[in-house]
Structure 1
Amino acid sequence: MFYRTLLGVALAGATAVHAETDLPFALDWKFEGPAAPYFAAVDNGYFAENGLNVTVEAGSGSLDAIPKVATGAFPVGFADMNSLIKFLDQNPGAPVIAAMMVYNKPPFAIIGRKSLGIDGPKSLEGKVLGAPPPDGAWAQFPIFAAENDLDVDAITVEPVGFPTREPMLAEGNVAAITGFSFTSYLNAARLGVPEDDLVTLLMADYGVDLYGNAVIVNTEYAAENPEVIKGFLAGAAAGWKSAIADPASVIPMLIERNPAADADLEQRRLQLSIDANVATDWVMENGFGIIDAARMDAALAQIATTYEFQTTPDASLYFTDAYLPEGGFSLAD
Structure 2
Amino acid sequence: MITRRTFTASLLSAVPATGLLGRAAFAQDMRDITFVQPSPSAINSFPVFTAIGEGFFAEEGLNVTVEAINGSGAVLQALSAGQAHFGRPGPGPLLAARTRGVEAVHIYNVAARSNFGIAVQEDSEYTSIEDLRGKVIGTGTADGAEVGFARNVLTGAGMTEGEDYTFLTVGDGGPATAAFLNGEIDAYSASTADTAILNQRGMAVRDITPAEFNRFFGNGIATMADTIANDRELVEKWSRAFAKGHAFAMDDANRETVLAHLAAGNPQEGEDKEFQSALFDAVRSKTVPSDDAPYMGWYPAEVWEEWQQALVDGGEISGPLDDLDAAWTNEFAEIGSEAVGG
The CA deviation at 1:78 is 1.0
- 1:105-254 equivalent positions in 2, closer than 5 A: 105-131=113-139, 132-150=141-159, 153-162=163-172, 164-170=175-181, 173-180=184-191, 182-194=192-204, 198-202=205-209, 205-207=211-213, 209-246=215-252, 247-254=255-262
The CA deviation at 1:319 is 0.7
Partner residue, 2:325: 316
3-state secondary structure, aligned to 2:38: coil
Partner residue, 2:79: 69
Q: Is the aligned partner of 1:288 residue 2:296?
A: yes
> Which amino acid is the alignment partner of residue 152 of structure 2?
I
Contact 1:170–1:191, Cα closer than 8 Å, also in 2: no
Unaligned runs of 5+ in 1: 1-14
Q: CA RMSD in A?
A: 2.7
TM-score, normalised via structure 2 length = 0.81
Counterpart-to-counterpart distance in 1, 2:281 and 2:157: 29
3-state secondary structure, aligned to 2:329: coil
Counterpart-to-counterpart distance in 2, 1:237 and 1:60: 25
Matched-pair identity in %? 17
> Which amino acid is the alignment partner of residue 35 of structure 2?
F
TM-score, normalised via structure 1 length = 0.83
Counterpart-to-counterpart distance in 2, 1:221 and 1:288: 22
Partner residue, 2:282: 272
3-state secondary structure, aligned to 1:117: coil
Counterpart-to-counterpart distance in 1, 2:329 and 2:279: 29
1:128–1:16 distance in 2 versus 1, CA, 3 Å: closer
The CA deviation at 1:243 is 1.3
The CA deviation at 1:151 is 6.5
Contact 1:300–1:313, Cα closer than 8 Å, also in 2: no
Unaligned runs of 5+ in 2: 1-24
The CA deviation at 1:157 is 3.7
Partner residue, 2:18: none
Counterpart-to-counterpart distance in 2, 1:108 and 1:252: 26
When Rg is computed on C-alpha atoms for both structures, the one with the higher figure is: 1
Partner residue, 1:9: none
1:253–1:328 distance in 2 versus 1, CA, 3 Å: closer
3-state secondary structure, aligned to 2:114: coil
Counterpart-to-counterpart distance in 1, 2:224 and 2:164: 41
1:30–1:202 distance in 2 versus 1, CA, 3 Å: farther
3-state secondary structure, aligned to 1:29: coil
1:55–1:210 distance in 2 versus 1, CA, 3 Å: same
